[in-house]
Structure 1
Amino acid sequence: MEIVEPAQPAQPAAPRPVNNRSSDRIMEIVLYAVAVVLLVILIYPLYFIIIASFSDPASVANGQVWLFPRGFTLAGYQELLKHSNIWIGYRNTILYTVVGTAISLVVNISAAYALSRRDLVGRKYINIFFIFTMFFNGGLIPTFLTIKSFHLYDTFLVMVLPFSVAVYNIIVARTFFQNSLPEDLWEAAQIDGCGNLRYYVRVVLPLSKAVISVVALWTAVGLWNSYFNALIYLKDPKLHPLQLILRNILITNQMQSSMGTGEAAAVALRLANLMRYSVIIIATVPIMCMYPFVQKYFNQGVMIGAVKQ
């Protein structure tokens, strides 16, 4: 008698391995394309300002400048360099930026470290006091009277000392200290006989190059571009920063072009418009040269304050 074996149920087909490589490749191409488009959108305005500053004013006014300069000219720069006080403005702005950044770093980084210490007496109320000043201030007139009462009006110090405290920078640096410097490091330093000041100078500062560089860059850019404080608190032209001098030059040329008539007025107006592009280049190139030197620390400081798991 033949024994018939029962039929085995059919085995389900093994699932085909999903190949995500092609989909990842497509997504990568899309992301790179979007990044390139955004890069062009962000860079082109700066590029246009550069080529427009070397182009014929009539070509710029008629919208004929797109990718390359047309009617190459240095008229805008030549007109600006006729004003010898530009070099005085450069000197003053460099001094204000260097000295003001140094003072701001000493004040803000030290305050941030003190506020990051858990053993600071009244730490909570001091933090509230600092944050309160971000939303409320005395106003322009009380500030002006205070500066005059301290005999800072129309002096070099008025540009670097009264406004050296930046609460936002203090909060950023405080967050960095709280998240990046473990308490065990301070305890180990105490065992080695290290005091507060020595620990701050020998341990904290060398480990905080990222946040120091970020705060220094923010402060330097703000001081370099500042003109309002000089407009209010400086009367002596020999103390004016570059931004204020360039502003006065543009206003003067605009007034002169508006007072003329006929073809001469049209030429003066085109030249005044061309000078705007030259002013932007003269005012921004020096501060942009700082970025390559702090780029490494700036990239590290982007994640300052991020939540750590």
Structure 2
Amino acid sequence: MFQGQAERLHHTEPTEIKQEKGASNKWVQEWKTAIKRDKYLYLMAAPGLLFFLIFKYFPLWGLLLAFQNYSPYLGFWDSEWVGFKYFHEFFTNPDFMLLFRNTMAISLLNIAFFFPIPIIVALLLNEVRSLLFKKIVQTVVYLPHFLSWVIIVGICFLIFGQASGVINQLIVQFGGEKIEFLTEPNYFWAMLTAQSIWKEAGWGTIIFLAALAGINSEQYEAAQIDGANRWQQMMNVTLPGIRGTIIVLLILRLGQVMDVGFEQIYLMSSGPVAHLADVFDTYAYRVGIQQGRFGYATVAGLFKSVVGLILVVTANRVTKKFGEEGLY
């Protein structure tokens, strides 16, 4: 009996191998055909793919520093491996909760106030009938995106500075007392949120304007026949038409919840607001670059990435349960 089974296995094995090889060859052939057919599309996509390979995927090797007492003199592979030592030190550090609180507070303020602004601006511009006025407004709101954070923060100092700021000068002229907008802790997070809105809201509007352009005009005509006014058309046609885009961008924004921007906060931080300005980005810079603790700073960056990944996956699953397409 066993001899018969062995003979059957002996005869069936080559057939299975042939099938696997045939499927593999078929896949390779289809891949070659697709490349030959769409070679120009792949050529256009090549710069983007190279960008992600060089700046996103290749640096992932650096995450190994979180498990090393890295020394530039010893090199990447000869440095001492310390396991999860830095993870334990990072999560038991008294500064961890302060960093987590500041990062989450700034990020949640951006989600609550900054994220809806591009949607509102796009809806308002969509209602404008004058093409010239619409282009002027678009140019004005897009312009701050092309300015660096150094310039944005410098303008804020000129406007809100206590000594010679324009706002404080006006307050004094009207008989009031100067307000410390930039050094008062109660204003710091609001100032960061307002700067983000001013700089990036116009740029984010581009995506929603493109989504609005994809809505079928026949839906508006049908709504007008049914007697819907402009507000009803927006609530029943426009917003449902861009709902998918809003959900996808919100999921992507949740993935960046731990990334609140190093440059802006570093430039805005000062002594009186230092306890509110210390986030994971500035902490990693201070510990990793200034103190030379590369492995410990890598743990902070890895923690940010893991939290972002968990939020994206969770939000996408919740979205799927509510019947939306989601991110993937």
User: TM-score normalized by structure 2?
Assistant: 0.62
Distance 1:133 1:273, change over 3 A: closer
Superposition deviation, residue 27 in structure 1 = 4.8
Tell whether 2:138 aligns with 1:127: yes
Give the match's secondary structure for 1:205: helix
The corresponding residue for 1:246 is 284
Q: How many Å separate the matches in 1 of 2:285 and 2:244?
A: 34
Tell whether 2:211 aligns with 1:176: yes
User: 2:305 is matched with which residue: 277, 284, 288?
Assistant: 284
Tell whether 2:90 aligns with 1:100: no
Superposition deviation, residue 73 in structure 1 = 1.7
Counterpart residue identity of residue 205, structure 2: I
Residues 150-193 of structure 1, C-alpha deviation per residue, up to 9 Å, x if partnerless?
Answer: 86424221122232142221112101111x21222223223334
Distance 1:287 1:136, change over 3 A: closer
Give the match's secondary structure for 1:204: helix
Q: How many Å separate the matches in 2 of 1:130 and 1:234?
A: 26
The corresponding residue for 2:29 is 26
Q: How many Å separate the matches in 2 of 1:73 and 1:114?
A: 54
Q: How many Å separate the matches in 2 of 1:276 and 1:81?
A: 12
Give the match's secondary structure for 1:200: helix
Give the match's secondary structure for 2:83: coil
Residues 42-66 of structure 1, C-alpha deviation per residue, up to 9 Å, x if partnerless?
Answer: 64642x344442245479944338x
Contact residue 153 and residue 267 of structure 2 kept, 8 A: no
The corresponding residue for 1:9 is none
Distance 1:194 1:24, change over 3 A: same
Residues 14-54 of structure 1, C-alpha deviation per residue, up to 9 Å, x if partnerless?
Answer: xxxxxxxx88842516989x99x9898864642x3444422
Write out aligned runs for 1:253-264 (5 A): 253-254=291-292
Residues 213-260 of structure 1, C-alpha deviation per residue, up to 9 Å, x if partnerless?
Answer: 344356553872412222222332331222223323335533xxxxxx
The corresponding residue for 1:231 is 266
Superposition deviation, residue 104 in structure 1 = 1.9
User: 1:86 is matched with which residue: 88, 92, 96?
Assistant: 96
The runs of 5 or more residues in structure 2 that have no matched partner are: 1-24, 36-41, 162-166, 169-178, 318-324
Counterpart residue identity of residue 113, structure 1: L
The corresponding residue for 1:142 is 155
Aligned residues: percent identity? 13
Distance 1:248 1:71, change over 3 A: closer
Q: How many Å separate the matches in 2 of 1:206 and 1:245?
A: 41
The corresponding residue for 1:203 is 237
Residues 119-139 of structure 1, C-alpha deviation per residue, up to 9 Å, x if partnerless?
Answer: 357223222333444446865
Q: How many Å separate the matches in 1 of 2:152 and 2:265?
A: 17
Q: How many Å separate the matches in 2 of 1:197 and 1:287?
A: 36
Distance 1:164 1:86, change over 3 A: same
The corresponding residue for 2:13 is none
- By relative contact order (CA 8 Å, sep 6+), the higher-ranking structure is 1
Say what the alpha-carbon RMSD is for the aligned residues: 4.0
Q: How many Å separate the matches in 1 of 2:81 and 2:135?
A: 63
Residues 85-113 of structure 1, C-alpha deviation per residue, up to 9 Å, x if partnerless?
Answer: 22111122112212212212221011112
The runs of 5 or more residues in structure 1 that have no matched partner are: 1-21, 255-271, 300-309
Superposition deviation, residue 147 in structure 1 = 4.0
Give the match's secondary structure for 1:64: strand
Q: How many Å separate the matches in 1 of 2:109 and 2:230?
A: 26
Q: Which has the larger Rg?
A: 1
The corresponding residue for 1:162 is 195
Distance 1:283 1:112, change over 3 A: same
Q: How many Å separate the matches in 2 of 1:214 and 1:230?
A: 27
Q: How many Å separate the matches in 2 of 1:176 and 1:107?
A: 15
Q: How many Å separate the matches in 1 of 2:58 and 2:76?
A: 15
User: TM-score normalized by structure 1?
Assistant: 0.65
Counterpart residue identity of residue 239, structure 1: L
